[in-house]
Structure 1
């Protein structure tokens, strides 16, 4: 999970630009999220794979355990260590505004694990991901689920989604909440036709750390999950 914005450290919202990213404690996607992402998409990946917002390379290390992956590309606004992983081609860039440094139709999979909420312009990134993907290629994204019952109640009562309070904005760089409708619109604008949503994570009861599933294990879907997963496929 990594904040992405201006690669030259120019001014921006707190937690948004490169300088702020470098100063704050590095964000890390929790392992249960990575476990779910691996089960949904990571173990299915093959060919040339691009990891966006690589941070220290936690997701890349997962991908390196997939023998079907031939080459791993990586990018982030700040090099927190991914460039030092063996066999990884790293480029530092701001995916919210920069052109991805790879040619058209050259990548089979693009992963953005907990990235979109950090971007000032996620639409630009989704369009760039579409550009570099080969026909039939996939963009897999995860982001906080702002369509859940807990998220809707938070917005109704407090005026913001749970992962987008002032502290998240300032310290974690959570600046852009994404809903399923937002993700679908961005995908269609970019040219994706196949868009599959999944909600494999549990969801917290409002104002607690307890999950709904502790009492009702069968609860599934976007109303009862803290995470939105989406698999976007470029037409073949």
Structure 2
């Protein structure tokens, strides 16, 4: 895949900068976490890792049983730890992590070398983009994405491509943060949050995404806010991790002001 398709901000952040090394992301996962049931009085690095694992578990539990019969792909897999967790804990038939950045695919293969050697026919990592997935038509039972869709330049192609690779009745599960409607919200986000200012994150309204899913042939589309389980716990962890004036502390503000919210979206291929 040509690097020309990777936005410069994404290429730098997930290439030479390796976002997984940032203090706010402990353990190699790169997501804000599901903090339900975690004591956030004085959260530790172990708590931070648990929150990130729990976000994957929340998504993966949305797939129907029996898990052992399902072939899944993770879009935007990063360092691949979530895909390895999916195979290890949920025993899916096969999990393939897909990422647009070759450095991330290389890291995923290195970090998860033991799991790949143990399950060579059930776990894999490959290059691909959200609007150009490396799978045959109708070849997957499920597709999921954990805090990656905010990086996609647009979600229409993602919806159409996911519909293509899923079999009828297959399920899509996406979790990430979505923006409020309108250019004013996008402008405020770019002022408050550096990731929106430099183009790493894109302001995607939730309603536009669900409309894309419906247009692509998905049914039983459901959304649920989990902001209460994400933003306060994350901010408590950031208190002891980044300077008080750092822009990442504004995520809590944007949620409280209604500019962003974290959602889980599920849909079924008709």
TM over 0.5: yes
Task: Provide the residue aligned with 2:167 in structure 1.
Answer: 134
Identify the match of residue 189 of structure 2 among 161, 183, 190.
Answer: 161
Q: Is the 8 A contact 2:137 2:164 kept in 1?
A: yes
Identify the match of residue 88 of structure 2 among 65, 89, 92.
Answer: 65
- Alignment CA distance shift 1:177-1:211 (3 Å): closer
How many Å apart are 1:108 and its aligned residue?
A: 1.1
Task: Provide the residue aligned with 1:90 in structure 2.
Answer: 125
Q: TM-score, normalised by structure 2?
A: 0.65
SS of 2:207's partner is: helix
How many Å apart are 1:200 and its aligned residue?
A: 2.0
How many Å apart are 1:76 and its aligned residue?
A: 0.4
Task: Give the aligned length.
Answer: 209
- Alignment CA distance shift 1:208-1:181 (3 Å): closer
Q: Within 1, Cα distance between the matches of 2:136 and 2:192?
A: 38
Q: Within 2, Cα distance between the matches of 1:212 and 1:127?
A: 29
1:59-208 to 2 correspondences below 5 Å: 59-78=82-101, 79-80=103-104, 81-84=107-110, 85=112, 86=116, 87=119, 88-96=123-131, 98=132, 100-147=133-180, 155=184, 159-161=187-189, 165=192, 167-169=194-196, 173-174=200-201, 176-202=202-228, 203=231
SS of 1:161's partner is: helix
Q: Is the 8 A contact 1:141 1:229 kept in 2?
A: yes
How many Å apart are 1:121 and its aligned residue?
A: 2.9
Task: Provide the residue aligned with 1:23 in structure 2.
Answer: 16
Q: Within 2, Cα distance between the matches of 1:138 and 1:31?
A: 22
Is there any run of 5+ residues in structure 1 with no aligned partner, and where?
1-6, 214-222
Q: Is the 8 A contact 1:36 1:200 kept in 2?
A: no
How many Å apart are 1:58 and its aligned residue?
A: 2.5
Identify the match of residue 9 of structure 1 among 3, 14, 24.
Answer: 3
SS of 2:4's partner is: coil
How many Å apart are 1:210 and its aligned residue?
A: 7.8
Is there any run of 5+ residues in structure 2 with no aligned partner, and where?
21-29, 35-50, 236-248
Task: Provide the residue aligned with 1:228 in structure 2.
Answer: 263
SS of 1:186's partner is: helix
Q: Quick check: 223-232 or 137-146, which moved more? A: 223-232
Q: TM-score, normalised by structure 1?
A: 0.73
Q: Within 1, Cα distance between the matches of 2:108 and 2:250?
A: 35
* Cα RMSD (Å): 3.4
SS of 1:54's partner is: coil
